Chains A and B, each alone.
Chain A
Amino acid sequence: MLNIKNLHVKLEDEDKQILKGIDLHVPAGEVHAIMGPNGSGKSTLSYVLSGRGGYEVTDGTAHLGDIDLLDIEPEERAAAGLFLAFQYPVEIPGVGNMTFLRTAVNAQRKARGEEELSAGDFLKVVRAKAKDLKIDADMLKRPVNVGFSGGEKKRNEILQMAMLEPKMCILDETDSGLDVDAMKLVSEGVNALRSPERGFLVITHYQRLLDHIKPDVVHIMADGRIIKSGGPELALEVENNGYADLLEGAA
């Protein structure tokens, strides 16, 4: 599904290398977690894959299926099936959440040559999915993320994911700012989307999210590289011993 080979990335305006050769393969149906200390490049990886500006790819490739991600615009990557759940979802005053969702869903359908959803059909689907995530009518009506609590913002991200039905989901520190109940709700939303056709890349600082979203593979990232990969037990090791041992082992 997601294939990253020897990915090197630097900041566009600064002579600073962030990713120093990432190799990663997330097959369909699997959940991979990336853990790592602050500044290891986890979020940069998610941004580069989804096409945020400010970065320069100096070497390597990233493909979603047979689509060269690095060659196309962010909206094209989205239409190709890539989704990034933001660590800090952006507030957009004056644009209704529902309007935003419908615009996004129909823009993607249009880009893929599919028929746009009618207002009625869209409403039916969004209401059902919102209900699962305990998102009420008021939250759908309000401007995008404006006045939402931390938990509400993250649930709203998962709602977008559910509506857009991507092939590959990247979750960037989705657990940050969540209390236990909110984390449970968000995780249930994510787990409901797990399927043999869909891949997940879960970026997190802590093991606790992985109690709820059980990964197939855990990667440890440090200083722009994946220094170790293993099963779920690797996350527990981090939880118990911190990153220090792993970092020393890699050095």
Chain B
Amino acid sequence: MPAERKTAVTDERLAALTLPAGDGWLRAGREDALGRLRAVGLPGRRDEYWRYTNPAKLVQADPEPSQPDAGEDPFAGVDADVITIDGDGITMPGTIEGLDVTTLSDAGGADIHWAKDLYGTLEAAGSRPVSRPLAMLNTAFATDGLVIRVTGKVARPLHIRTTGGTDPILHHVVKVEAGGALTILESGNVGARYNTALEVDVADGAAFHHLRVQGPDGGMHANTHIFARLGSEATFRSFTLSANGQLTRNEATIDLTGDDASATIGGAAFGDGDVHHDDTVFVTHDAVNCESRQVFKKVLRNGATGVFQGKILVKEGAQKTDGYQISQALLLDDDAQFLAKPELEIYADDVACSHGSTTGAIDETALFYLRSRGVPKRVATDMLVLSFLAEAVEEIENEDLRAHVGDLLTDWQARA
């Protein structure tokens, strides 16, 4: 997109938005992000990082009209504390041991120094070297969000269920203090178009687990961002299960800044029909003896497109890095496509990094094996799809949640 056109698109989008009222640290963070956004402009097709995904519907002033249905709660039956975010506001749970939760709008007026130091900070850091203008837009114009501080090991997962907004921009910040641990579940159709950002600071020896379900609805245009910073011996795990949605761009930017930290990010996605699903991941190793894993699998059919852009950057001095990245697509027909851009950039000499990407069809031998046992072709295909996704689902550490996701997949298949 020529520069002047890009400016016009940015101006048009910004004209439709107003910085939410308020002052103090939140206002300062918003203005800072807005300044950064104006400097780079919203993304266009010509941007290297948007080569495989057309951002038009994410950046245009008004969202594409569509009606995602409310959707069932995919975590029904999972023992969790629930926060609901909908068109009417945010409903908080009662007191939870080891956890302070407040809304961004409430926190913004209070002097919460850790939130002040975090809001927009990881996002800004994550915009170098690759700028993420839609995340800047999120920081500037977030309609609301959660401010979460974890001071201990929280026993039950915290389920953030977001439904029914119109074009919501949500920004959550999470600080997991040293030794703390929290699992966040995310679900809900969020909105016809939505932009979410999650900034997570995982301090030394702390653990943050994240499990997100997107779909199985059609029609949504989603852009999500995760920015994580890991201290020494910290653990970060995130897994996203997606089904359909017209356009989904899930970005994750993870910085391993303390020694012996470990980060895993994974996803399993189904795309059937007019679906475009993009996982864009950037993992930076900036400490010694850290481990990172990226495991993404997509099952595509009927014209669906899958995109994976994944990078491992190993900075100078980040010795003994163990980096792994795999992205695989199973194409169930000739109309589906998968575009992958795996990247390694390494400036340390004592590291083990590997990456791989494959695109393939159903294994005919395996299909015949199942059918020869009397399993009908359709059921056999479903079994092989589950088999294909299993390696990614394995990345979910918690056994109960892993089993729950397995059941969800089976259930989705049965209804497809």
Task: Determine the chain A residues whose CB is within 8 A of the CB of B376 once the complex forms.
Answer: 75, 107, 111
Q: For this complex, into which size category does the number of interface residues on chain B fall?
A: 20 to 34
From B366, B371, B383, B387, contact of A51 by CB (8 A): B371
Query: Are B368's CB and A74's CB within 8 A?
Result: yes
Q: B-facing mask of A97-115, CB < 8 A → 1, else 0?
A: 0001001110110010000
Shortest A47–chain B CB gap in Å is 8
In this complex, what residue of A is CB-closest to B386?
A94
Query: Are A95's CB and B375's CB within 8 A?
Result: no
From A50, A93, A104, contact of B375 by CB (8 A): A104
Task: Determine the chain B residues whose CB is within 8 A of the CB of A92 once the complex forms.
Answer: 366, 369-370, 383-384, 387
Shortest A80–chain B CB gap in Å is 9
In this complex, what residue of A is CB-closest to B373?
A104
Query: Taking A95-B387, A100-B383 as contacts, is the C-beta distance between A90 and B375 under 8 angstroms?
Result: no
Query: Are B374's CB and A95's CB within 8 A?
Result: no
- Interface membership of B282, Cβ < 8 A: no
Query: Are A107's CB and B388's CB within 8 A?
Result: no
Query: Are B387's CB and A164's CB within 8 A?
Result: no
Query: Are A94's CB and B389's CB within 8 A?
Result: yes
Q: Find residues 383-405 in chain B having any chain A CB closer than 8 Å to their own CB.
A: 383-384, 386-391, 393
Q: B-facing mask of A49-80, CB < 8 A → 1, else 0?
A: 01111000000000000000000011101110
Query: Taking A53-B364, A92-B387 as contacts, is the C-beta distance between A107 and B375 under 8 angstroms?
Result: yes
- Interface membership of B365, Cβ < 8 A: yes
- Interface membership of B372, Cβ < 8 A: yes
CA of A170 to CA of B219, assembled, Å: 50
Query: Are A75's CB and B389's CB within 8 A?
Result: no
Query: By the criterion of a CB under 8 Å from any partner CB, how many residues of chain A are at the interface?
Result: 29
Task: Determine the chain B residues whose CB is within 8 A of the CB of A164 once the complex forms.
Answer: 373-374
Q: Find residues 336-391 in chain B having any chain A CB closer than 8 Å to their own CB.
A: 363-366, 368-377, 379-380, 383-384, 386-391
Query: Are B383's CB and A75's CB within 8 A?
Result: no
Task: Determine the chain A residues whose CB is within 8 A of the CB of B366 once the complex forms.
Answer: 90, 92
CA of A79 to CA of B389, assembled, Å: 29
Query: Taking A52-B368, A89-B369, A90-B369 as contacts, is the C-beta distance between A108 and B374 under 8 angstroms?
Result: yes
Query: Taking A90-B366, A107-B379 as contacts, is the C-beta distance between A84 and B390 under 8 angstroms?
Result: no
Interface, chain A (partner B; CB < 8 A): 50-53, 73-75, 77-79, 83-84, 86, 89-90, 92-95, 100, 103-105, 107-108, 111, 143, 160, 164
11 CB contacts below 8 A, A to B, read: A75-B375, A75-B377, A78-B371, A78-B373, A86-B372, A94-B386, A94-B387, A94-B393, A95-B383, A103-B379, A111-B376
Q: Which 7 A-B pairs have the closest CB atoms?
A: A94-B390, A78-B374, A108-B374, A104-B373, A74-B371, A90-B369, A94-B387
